Structure 1
Amino acid sequence: MFAPIFKVCSADPGVGALIGDGTECRLYLFGEAPADVIKPYAVWQTIGGAPDNYLADRPDSDRFELQVDVYGTAATQTRNVARAIRDAIEQKAYVTRWGGESRDAPTKTYRYSFDVDWWVSR
């Protein structure tokens, strides 16, 4: 019932080199990143989706729309992590929107956002 984004990203060497791998991967479900997390890191959340419904049978797949937000201490660092996550998940899903870049003035944290559509077989 959920897109396997953590499983895919935490196993990818490119992502692992930048935000850790395995259980140490700094890719968190929305609201779950620790307050003192080391940057760079990323968060993701489901923002939409639907089962692939049929008239005669149960759905055999689900589509998930995810938003991924990457945070870092420098623009280049943040972009590099976003690129690595994109490269890891594009083998399994589709990037559907580049959400843009921003910088939080008080914390000086950089952010890059993008959306993904992910089809998951049941």
Structure 2
Amino acid sequence: MFPPIFTVAAAAPAVTALLGSNPTRLYPFGEAPQGVVYPYVVWQTITGSPEKYLAGRPDMDGYTLQVDVYADTGSSARAVAAALRDAIELQAYVTRWGGESVDPETKRYRISFDVDWYVAR
């Protein structure tokens, strides 16, 4: 019922090389635990809807996810974003590159992008 972004990312060696494997630092609901090691990624569903059929119950749900990469350096953030993109694009669609920024207080780097994912029920 939910997009398998964690399963896909955790199965990609290029992603786990950057985000770890125990745990893989990819967190739902847009929140990471306090004191998490950088780099890390948060994601959240920003919209979604079931497919619509007149003849019966939908067999697929569509989701749009916002993915945010946080890192100590710009090059690290870009490397994580590229690894995630490469893993995700085999199963879903990157639909928006949201931009790059540096938090004025923490001086951490952020890259944001959106993914459209269709999930069979």
Task: Name the TM-score class by shorter chain.
Answer: over 0.9
Amino acid at match of 2:78: R
Aligned to 2:93: 94
CA distance in 2, matches of 1:98, 1:92: 18
Aligned to 1:17: 17
Asked if structure 1 preserves the Cα contact closer than 8 Å seen for 2:30 and 2:43, the reply is no
Amino acid at match of 1:20: G
Give the TM-score normalised by the residue count of structure 2: 0.97
From the superposition, tell whether residues 31 and 48 of structure 1 become closer, same or farther in structure 2 (CA, over 3 Å).
closer
Aligned to 1:109: 108
Amino acid at match of 1:5: I
Stretches of structure 1 that go unaligned for 5 or more consecutive residues are none
Stretches of structure 2 that go unaligned for 5 or more consecutive residues are none
Amino acid at match of 1:82: A
CA distance in 1, matches of 2:91, 2:115: 10
| Aligned-residue offset at 1:31 | 4.5
Aligned to 1:2: 2
Amino acid at match of 2:12: D
Amino acid at match of 1:80: A
Asked if structure 1 preserves the Cα contact closer than 8 Å seen for 2:92 and 2:115, the reply is yes
Aligned to 1:85: 84
| Aligned-residue offset at 1:57 | 0.8
Aligned length: 121
Give the TM-score normalised by the residue count of structure 1: 0.96
Q: What is the DSSP-based 3-state SS (H/G/I as helix, E as strand, rest coil) of the residue aligned with 2:35?
A: coil
| Aligned-residue offset at 1:32 | 3.6
| Aligned-residue offset at 1:25 | 0.3
Amino acid at match of 2:20: G
CA distance in 1, matches of 2:29, 2:99: 18
CA distance in 2, matches of 1:92, 1:104: 31
